[in-house]
Amino acid sequence: MSDTFDTARRMGEIRSFHVMELLARAKALEALGRSVIHMEVGEPDFATPAPVIDAGHLALEQGHTRYLPATGLPQLKREIAGFYQARYGLKFDSNRVIVTPGSSGALQLVMGVLVNPGDTVLMADPGYPCNRNFVVLMGGIPISMAVGPDTGYQLSAERIAEAWSADTRAVMVASPSNPTGTLLDRDQLQAIYEVVKERGGRLIVDEIYQGLVYGDEGYTALDIADDLFVINSFSKYFGMTGWRIGWMVVPQSYVGAIDRLAQNIFISSSSIAQYAALAAFSPATIAILEQRRTEFRKRRDYLLPALRELGFKVAVEPEGAFYLYTDCSALTTDSFTFCMELLEQQGVAATPGRDFGDNRPEQHIRFAYTTEIDKLREGIARLERFLR
Using CB under 6 A, list all residues that contact ligand PLP. Answer: 42, 102-104, 128, 174, 178, 206, 208, 233, 235, 241, 246
CA distance 351 to 372: 18
Between CA 174 and CA 59 the distance in angstroms is: 33
Closest CA relative to residue 274, chosen from 105, 14, 59: 59
C-alpha span between 338 and 319 (Å, rounded): 26
Beta bridge partners of 230: 205, 249
**Looking at beta carbons only, is 136 or 174 nearer to ligand PLP?**
174
In sequence order, the β-bridge partners of residue 368 are: 323
Query: Phi then psi for 378, rounded to 5 degrees?
Result: -65, -40
Give the list of residues 6+ apart from residue 351 with CB closer than 8 angstroms, or none.
18, 19, 22, 40, 179, 339, 365, 366, 367, 368
65-209-192 Cα angle (round to 5): 120
Please state the closest distance from residue 309 (CB atom) to ligand PLP, in A. Answer: 27
Rounded to a whole number of angstroms, the minimum distance from the CB of residue 40 to ligand PLP is 12
Residue 370 · residue 38 · CB < 8 Å: yes
Closest contact distance (angstroms) between CB of 264 and ligand PLP is: 19
CB-wise, 58 or 130, nearer to ligand PLP? 130
Q: How far is the CB of 62 from ligand PLP (least distance, A)?
A: 26
114 or 174: whose CB is closer to ligand PLP?
174
Query: β-pairing, 323-327 with 364-368?
Result: antiparallel
Q: Least CB distance from residue 235 to ligand PLP, whole Å?
A: 3
Tell me whether residue 245 or residue 383 sits nearer to ligand PLP (CB atom): 245
Distance CA 330, CA 217 (A): 35
Q: Which is nearer to ligand PLP, 51 or 126 (CB)?
A: 126
State which residue, 77 or 382, has the beta carbon closest to ligand PLP. Answer: 77
Taking the complex as a whole, the smallest distance from the CB of residue 131 to ligand PLP amounts, in Å, to 7
Beta-bridged to residue 120, according to DSSP, are 141, 168
Closest distance of CB 79 from ligand PLP, Å: 17
From 365, 367, 338, 334, select the one nearest 352 (Cα to Cα): 365
Question: Judged by CB, which is closer to ligand PLP: 235, or 351?
Answer: 235
Asked if 134 and 274 count as a contact pair (C-beta separation under 8 A), the reply is no
CB 34 within 8 A of CB 347: yes
38, 371 Cβ separation under 8 angstroms: yes
Q: Measured from the CB of residue 1, what is the shortest distance to ligand PLP in angstroms?
A: 34
Q: For ligand PLP, give the closer residue by CB, 140 or 246.
A: 246
What are φ and ψ of residue 230, in 5° steps? -115, 125
For ligand PLP, which is the closer residue by CB, 346 or 370?
370
Strand 37-38 versus strand 120-125 pairing type: unpaired
User: Minimum distance from CB of 356 to ligand PLP (Å)?
Assistant: 10
State which residue, 146 or 387, has the beta carbon closest to ligand PLP: 146
Q: Which residue is nearest to ligand PLP (CB)?
A: 102
The CB-of-105 to ligand PLP minimum distance in angstroms stands at 7
Judge residue 78's burial from the number of C-beta atoms within 10 Å of its C-beta, 0-12 exposed, 13-18 middle, 19 or more buried: middle
Strand partners, 203: 171
DSSP reduced 3-state for 248: strand
